[in-house]
Structure 1
Amino acid sequence: MPDLLDLTPKFRTFFALAEHADPETRWQLWQQHYAFAAVPPTPGGQGIARRLLDEAWEKYSDLPTDLRPEVVRLQRQAREAEQALEALFQTPAPSYRLVTYVGGFEGNAFVAGTSLCMPVEMPADWAGWVLTHELTHLFHHELCGSDGGWQRSVAALIVQEGLATRTTAALHPTSPLRDHLGTVDWLRQCEDVRSGLWGDALSRLDASDDAALLRFLLPHPEFGPERTAYALGWWLVGDWLAQGRTLAELARVPEADLPALVAQRTQ
């Protein structure tokens, strides 16, 4: 079992203090007593956190008073996902910390270093495949020599998300496409600009600055859709699997080799 860091008591402290506060005071109390959200560690991250707080505020009063059962449930689901991934990647699960927290009801979980951060408000049927996706990142980091940090090349971002989405699809074959990748409409929008997205990505494979990474996570400044790294990775890893490569093999490609490997992608 992973180590556990449960942040829900900190959220309860913040919520009790802020329950009757005005929005600006509420934000200040959030920063002082909680300050945890699924946002990128970039200058714009705090602005996103403020928006998530404001949008989720009315929903927080509907949370159960006792969140411990949800924490226990996530621990159980994490272990189930670990076992499936251990069999797929043919290696023991890496050491990691499970961080449970109250998020913004936006359905977002994330990995930071060796921590897997899961919001307790996420429904159980959704959390199962999300844990598979996020744990795939931890297995991948261990096998490819990544430190799991925010800074990595655009190529690494694309392959990481491609491996995670394809692994989730393989282990949750009855889940709809929107669960392990995104909506059909979103993927169609990406398909419409597929050639342009690849051209843009191929020109930046070695880049690892915030602007380059956010270009393929936030709405694309030229082509429009957000999360285009997921679409690019889905296509790329799908091509590799069609060539006879395996998920376990791809997970072991050293991170430093990924820009050159992605540059050789099939057209």
Structure 2
Amino acid sequence: MVNYQTWLKEIDDNTRLSKLSIPGTHNSAACHTALPSVQCQGKSVTDQLKHGVRFLDIRAGRQLIKNDDPKQELQVIHGKFPVRIPFPIQLEDVLKEVYDFLDDNKSETVIVSLKQEGSNDWDNPNDEFPNLIWEKYVEPNKDKWYLNTDIPKVGDARGKAVLFRRFGVNNEDRKREFGFDAASWKYNTTDDDRGSFVVQDFCEVQKADDIPTKINYVKDLANKAKDYTKDNDNKLFVNFTSASNFFDHDCWPQQIANALLKSDVADKFEKGVGIIVLDYVESDDWKLSKKLVDSNF
């Protein structure tokens, strides 16, 4: 029986992460009381990791209340909203959950996707956001991160957080030591191949009748990944199951997660389907996450 807390222990060191089926979570830290259209998970980041999740989607922005904060503490954001009301979650606290988990489970690795969200008042030409991420969050903890730009082998990433960088960096020297570059892909894409990674992130579900279309896109990329990774390990497939329409309750994250569970999508979760990014991953006793982990064996 698989131990989901340490499932990577059973994977050969020479296996690239791109060859695996990896459960991930969308807006991973959006697990607290908030607007129902903002909340995406029902369990903490730590609980997610203990149940096999190995890809975290974390969005960070300025303090919404303390814009003049000289310490520039970043909080976790979903779109324009804090993921916890009334007391925001700090990025530092979420990263500490990752570090603590890896300290306790040296055989594991966690892919950490970091994205800038919230306010748009950053000085991007001068790398204000990436410089802050580097100086405040990454460099003081460099021993805890895998910061090479390639897709790592499991053995090289054990005990470390793999940076999946969803923000641009203009400084070429810094870029070479700032993790896997996933700075951009087409909005609302059904299949965007960026060379080193492929993404399905179709998110504009306008009405409940559109949800089966979204689920079919998830299946399509899972099949493409499975076929590709049989003989190759040079592309990371990232497949988002999330979508929403803020103005339609039937298209909020919980409802789409429920529809996914009721579908036959889990039948497509075989070995090598890549990263499947889930909402409410704990649903039905972590059914989809367990199915993904199990498929690796």
| Structure with bigger RCO (C-alpha 8 Å, 6+ apart) | 2
Structure number having the greater helix percentage: 1
Scaled by the length of structure 1, what TM-score is found?
Answer: 0.29
Q: Higher Cα Rg: structure 1 or 2?
A: 1
- What's the TM-score, normalizing by structure 2? 0.27
